[in-house]
Chains A and B, each alone.
Chain A
Amino acid sequence: MSSWFDYTINGLVVGNIYALLAVGLALIFGVSHLINFAQGSVYSVGAYVGLVCITYLNTPLPLTIAIVLASCGLLGILIERIGLRPLQGRTRIAPLLATIGISLVLDQIVQLVFSAQPRALPSQVPDWRFVIGGGSIGALDLLIAAIGLASAAVLFAFLRFTKLGWAVRATAQDREAAQQMGVDVDRVDSAVFAIASALGGLSGLLVGMYYNNISPAMSFQATLKGIVAQVIGGVGNVPGAIFGSLFLGLTESYGIALFGTSYRNLFAFVILILVLISWPNGLFGGRRSLPPEPLTGTFIAPSRPVLLPFWLVVALVATGLLLPVVVTSPYVIQTLSNAWLYGMLALSLTLVAGTAGQISLGHAALLAIGGYASALLALDLGLSVLVAIPLAGLITGLIGTLLVYPAFGLRGHYVAIATLGIGEIVSLVILNWESLTRGPIGITGIPPLAIGKHDFYSAPAVYWLTFAVLVGLALLQRRLLRSPLGRTLRAIRDDDVAARTYGINPNRYKGLAFAFSGFVAGVSGAITAHLYSYINFETFTSQISVLALTMAILGGLGNVFGAIAAAIALVGLPEIFRVASDYRMLIYGLALLLLIRFRPQGLFGTV
């Protein structure tokens, strides 16, 4: 079977490309315990620096590489110094949000300078082809592999044989202890970001040359693939990241071979979840890897939440109810309705991420399940919308919990990656299960929101409906948090082992949290589907998952009111900044960074 040989080679070629991304992510994770969402943006900056060098300055390849390494290294130092160091020692989750903000800002700057059009990045490597099996590989493939291996070797030598390398490893093992031994941990952070960003930029350059295609939109996918690859290898493990990348490339390639192109990522993500469950430390993690992460309060720092007095809550709800009477602009009312729908999503996520301590990066999947469930119940079974929406919530709660159940044994960032994978799986199943979901064509003609014969078309009607549902769910969630159930969930979050010794079965409680959370998100997705009248697999993208997490963190993890306030802010700000036209998303990113800079514990504090 010569084609199997070709699939293997192709898998290795692609894995090779993921490896360059994953190594940088692994290095930063190893030292800072941080998923760096900005890595993909540095990667695209690297590609564009390369473009400037090659097309405008006509530099030869070694000089191009040197310039890209230097400028991206510098960019890494700046990111660490300006974006992350001020947050040090505040909370562990704030830097994650900061990297999301930095990524937004960098992507927007690249787009403003170079336009959104994809550009060709001419390869400076001679176009020699080597025939292997039925296909061939080029000199650039070999160069990418060589640079991947060389950078891993140099890193290995650096960590093993230089003083700064020892300092990096010491800091990775125990930051406080290293500091007490006289290690300048700030300098270590700087060095790590410089190295990782230089590598990220270099991979952008090489991958851009490989595809002869670079665009400002290339960063998000690159980050996702890099994260997945490094987790397969074992987080924070550099050789593991390379191995994980090749493994991911191979699974994708074999997935195509076995099932066809549209199953590529589905197969890869199913393998990812299986790997995570079977080897919770990654394939390369072994026993020597990091101790299981959050022990007490490391991940979610306790802070004093802002408590709203009862009269203020009543006043806010009353204001919310009366708003459409005062504000006549349907545009503002519609935007606020969107904020209420996202508020439900944020409530749902803040419960599992904040109260139960399970950071989820796949929450958009719950919206999708809810939306599809309600749309299909109304269209195929002819249920009235009023019945379909809560039923869709229940279905989402059930399916969501069953999907996440296998990941309950995981902790910290592994939960985030597992949920990210599950989210992708849901979206790909929707795409491929055509007999039920109508595949890529999507579902059209979803009936509008209605009670009996009364349609909810006008902006105020949609507003009142979404606001009422949001307030109802928020009160329910507040009640839940104050009950013994809420206390138990926080106990599991803060100290899993201690909770067990008190006879608590963490899985059962996590299951309850995910079920409630799934219900809330499912209702939000269901209302959205009826509001839009058309949904397909692209309606609820993975970027919505990132946005939901941003809201949950910004509001203060676990904080019900904070989640809603953050939803208003993050849905409203891009609308307000419309006056800035082309600069609107840039300003939005900067606003996000400022908010997290001054309120790292979230606007209203962690509960």
Chain B
Amino acid sequence: MKTRASIWTVRWLVAVVAAGLLAILGESPSSAAEPILLGVSGPLTGSNAQYGAQWKTGFDLALDQINGSGGIKGRPLQYVFEDSQSDPRQSVSIAQKFVNDPTIVAELGDFSSPASMAASPIYQRAGLVQFGFTNSHPDFTKGGEFMWSNTVNQADEQPALAEFAVKRLGLTRLAVIHLNTDWGRISKDIFVKAAKEDGAEVVATEGFLPDEKDYRSTLVRIRESKPDGIVIIAYYADGALIARQLRSAGIKLPVVAVSSVYSPKFLELGGDAVEGIYTKANFFPEDPRPEVQTFVKAYQAKYGKDPDTFAAIAYDTVVLLSEVIKQYGTERKAIRDGLASIKDVPSVIYGRVTFDPQTRRVLGAKTINLVIKNGKFALWDGSKPAIN
């Protein structure tokens, strides 16, 4: 019995190893007239898998449009999505895979800062553009001249949010509840500074951990600080949970949330509790800008739901890179130089994208003030909240 089992184990192990070797060796280099490939490193499994899934919707839509109109000089644009689980160990291996695959012309991602920035030295050394379209860590693009990002700059977003909360909505005592990661923390710091400059007082700041689901006690603490408005700096799933627990804590104050909650999921998960929440978005279906209209209409037609910020930035990124490749060619270095010199690429988030070649980031994201009304995002009509 025992020997039989171990023989089977050996055979099984041999089979696995053989399959693996075949998989590694079987990847033959592609010939000419082949598609132009973008490498994507991001989470498709694990706790951030939902964001990778949203990226895909944006990528696929952009590719439909680009390849539907003849691709890039007759060659179709495609992407290779490698699942990193947002784990630096895997994103580093993926980076080696991409930089040594001559068919990959540029890389997109990863999602979290630890996974992205661990891979940066490899991309920088190899001279392959690492385009971190969700990387708001201020040091991400400092990793080298091949690190670029079109993520909405918190230095843009947070002062605008503060202006909305303080000057437009007339809130004077703010309590901030933020995700305690690099993104949430940096956002909070910029927001607090801007809100104070606008003349408001920040009476409480509470940072919660990424896995948190229960906020009741945090909200009691916030209630104790006697604010007249609550600011939520979180993604949509956490934001919806916080909104739902606000009323359990007996808080009926105006709530302002960052644009990351702009997602149909926020309405679905939040239910009645998100009614009346103020937020900002970088695009909105009723926005007359042509790039927004093309994107939103096509997205609704393809997926039967509204796009969120993650899908929009993923879409923008592929459109941007296709434009760079069209104008500057498929050489890796040419793409880097192209990003520095390309001007006014149409964009859902920015209207027109032009990079600052020094910071390798974009400023000037469009923002619209929204309020949730009757279970839908609606344009804010300028009315101030009734202070209880």
A residues lining the B interface (CB < 8 Å): 3, 6-7, 10-11, 13-14, 17, 108, 111, 115-120, 122, 129, 131, 134-138, 211-213, 215-217, 220-221, 252-253, 256-257, 260-262, 264-265, 329-335, 338, 342, 431, 439-442, 444-445, 448, 457, 459, 531-536, 538-539, 571-576, 578-579, 581-582, 584-585, 591, 594-595, 598-599
Contacts and interface: CB of A to CB of B under 8 A. Distances in A.
10 contacts: A129-B248, A135-B216, A136-B248, A212-B270, A334-B92, A431-B180, A532-B114, A532-B117, A575-B93, A599-B6
Interface in B255-283: 265, 268-271
Interface in B1-35: 5-6, 8-9, 12, 16, 19-20, 23-24
B52 A252 contact: no
A118 B269 contact: yes
A440 B220 contact: no
B244 A211 contact: yes
B52 A116 contact: yes
Contacts of B217: 6-7, 10-11, 252-253, 256-257, 261, 264
B114 A120 contact: no
A571 B89 contact: yes
A459 B381 CA distance: 57
A584 B23 contact: no
B248 A3 contact: no
Contact of A212 (B16, B49, B100, B269): B269
B221 A260 contact: yes
Contacts of A571: 89
Nearest to B94: A331
B197 interface: no
Interface stretch (B203-211, B338-346, B364-372): B203-211
Contact of B237 (A7, A136, A213, A576): A213
Contact of A117 (B50, B92, B117): B50
B127 interface: no
B214 interface: yes
B283 to A, nearest CB: 20
B96 A331 contact: yes
B247 A136 contact: yes
Given A10-B216, A120-B271, A213 B250 contact: no
Interface residue SS majority, chain B = helix
A531 B92 contact: yes
B213 A211 contact: yes
Contacts of B223: 3, 134
Contacts of B113: 442, 534, 536
A11 B217 CA distance: 8
Nearest to B211: A221
Interface string B137-165: 10100110000000000000000000000
A536 B140 CA distance: 13
B16 A262 contact: no
Nearest to A14: B214
A583 B250 CA distance: 45
| A-B residue pairs, 7 tightest by C-beta | A116-B49, A576-B20, A532-B118, A534-B117, A331-B97, A334-B96, A217-B47
Interface in B85-131: 85, 88-90, 92-93, 95-97, 99-100, 112-114, 117-118, 120-121, 125
Nearest to A599: B9
Centre residue among B49, B93, B120 by max chain A CB count within 10 A: B93
Contacts of A14: 214, 216
Contact of A6 (B85, B88, B220): B220
Contact of A578 (B82, B100, B224, B269): B82
B63 to A, nearest CB: 17
B24 A329 contact: yes
Given A134-B220, A331-B97, A531 B118 contact: yes
B114 A441 contact: no
A439 B185 contact: yes
B199 interface: no
Centre residue among B52, B54, B83, B112 by max chain A CB count within 10 A: B83
Given A136-B248, A532-B92, A598-B6, A329 B100 contact: yes
A257 B220 contact: yes
Given A117-B50, A118-B237, A574 B114 contact: no
A338 B89 contact: yes
B249 to A, nearest CB: 5
Contacts of B379: none
Contacts of B16: 573, 576, 591
Interface size class of B (residues with CB under 8 A): 35 or more
Contact of B117 (A119, A533, A584): A533
Contact of B50 (A10, A215, A221): A215
A261 B206 contact: yes
Nearest to A260: B206
B186 interface: yes
Given A14-B216, A538-B112, A220 B271 contact: no
B132 interface: no
A116 B185 CA distance: 26
B268 A211 contact: no
Nearest to A439: B185
A359 B116 CA distance: 32
Contacts of A215: 50, 237
Contacts of A584: 45, 83
Given A252-B217, A448-B121, A111 B45 contact: yes
Contacts of A116: 44-45, 49-50, 52-53
B293 interface: no
B201 interface: no
Interface string B201-242: 000001111111110111011011000000000000100110
Given A108-B45, A262-B209, A534-B113, A135 B249 contact: yes
A224 to B, nearest CB: 9
Nearest to A138: B248
A135 B181 CA distance: 29
Centre residue among A117, A120, A220, A534 by max chain B CB count within 10 A: A534
B92 A338 contact: yes
Nearest to A338: B89
B208 A442 contact: no
Contacts of B54: 117
Contacts of A539: 88, 114, 118
B89 A598 contact: no
A117 B265 contact: yes
A598 B52 contact: no
B385 interface: no
Contact of B139 (A332, A534, A578, A585): A534
Nearest to B51: A116
Given A216-B49, A532-B114, 7 more contacts: A6-B249, A17-B214, A117-B53, A329-B100, A334-B95, A441-B137, A441-B185
Interface in B35-58: 44-50, 52-54
B240 A585 contact: no
Nearest to A582: B44
A11 B216 CA distance: 9
Contacts of A333: 96
B358 to A, nearest CB: 18
Given A257-B221, A261-B221, A262-B180, A579 B23 contact: yes
A213 B241 contact: yes
A120 B269 contact: yes
A576 B15 CA distance: 12
Nearest to B245: A211
A535 B90 CA distance: 15
B307 interface: no
Interface in B173-204: 177, 180-182, 184-186
Contacts of B99: 330
